[in-house]
Chains A and B, each alone.
Chain A
Amino acid sequence: ETGVTQTPRHLVMGMTNKKSLKCEQHLGHNAMYWYKQSAKKPLELMFVYNFKEQTENNSVPSRFSPECPNSSHLFLHLHTLQPEDSALYLCASSQEGLVKVTQYFGPGTRLTVL
């Protein structure tokens, strides 16, 4: 266990559904991340939050809406997704400061959009 949990682990949704992915870190970190891992494509950063403030949005479509209510929790709200959005969504956290350190990853949510 890395100290980062994600729920649900698997999710199947239709294109008209609205769902949310949840991530929680128990490491006392101040930065949290959402990544997308599609089949046969490199892992892609989606969003970065530092101290609850969004600092990076890597040109992600608006059908993905992140929310970070506090430094320990991160959500990804999903609506009107497309089949090509099917992927493994990974959450990570790190302690950001003067020195860049490693990120700790959760187990991911396997999303299938029908």
Chain B
Amino acid sequence: KQEVTQIPAALSVPEGENLVLNCSFTDSAIYNLQWFRQDPGKGLTSLLLIQSSQREQTSGRLNASLDKSSGRSTLYIAASQPGDSATYLCAVFRNAGNMLTFGGGTRLMVKP
């Protein structure tokens, strides 16, 4: 059974800092890995999707890396802003079926 863990569960940083969110998964037989953002009381917004054959993806100030063999992914946020405050969720798509398995999320607070 695939299990996804995110560390830390919560993070508070001052504006302007670079930060790293971590995600680990137990079964390396994944098709892809995604990072989502969730604002309070709202649905999820996809940020980055990394295919299992890729090592990283970049979008603006966000960079996600994937090390499938070690079961790890990181989301790097450069020059953090208060608008980045949200919960960030990592999810892996297994090779078979349509199931996304989610981590518990990291709740990020960026203080002005």
Contact = CB atoms under 8 A, between A and B. Distances in A.
Interface of A: 2, 4, 31, 33, 40-45, 48, 50, 55-56, 58, 88, 90, 92, 96, 100-108, 110
B59 interface: no
Interface residues of B, number: 24
A80 B45 CA distance: 32
Contacts, number: 59
Contact of B45 (A2, A50, A101): A2
A48 B43 contact: no
Given A41-B104, A42-B4, A42-B104, A104 B98 contact: no
B50 to A, nearest CB: 11
A48 B36 CA distance: 19
A56 B97 contact: yes
**Closest A-B pairs by Cβ, 3 of them:** A105-B43, A43-B102, A105-B44
Contacts of A96: 98
Interface string B89-102: 10101000111111
B98 A102 contact: no
Interface string B61-95: 00000000000000000000000000001010100
A49 B93 CA distance: 16
A107 B98 contact: no
Contacts of A100: 31-32, 93, 98
Contact of A107 (B42, B91, B93): B42
Nearest to A31: B98
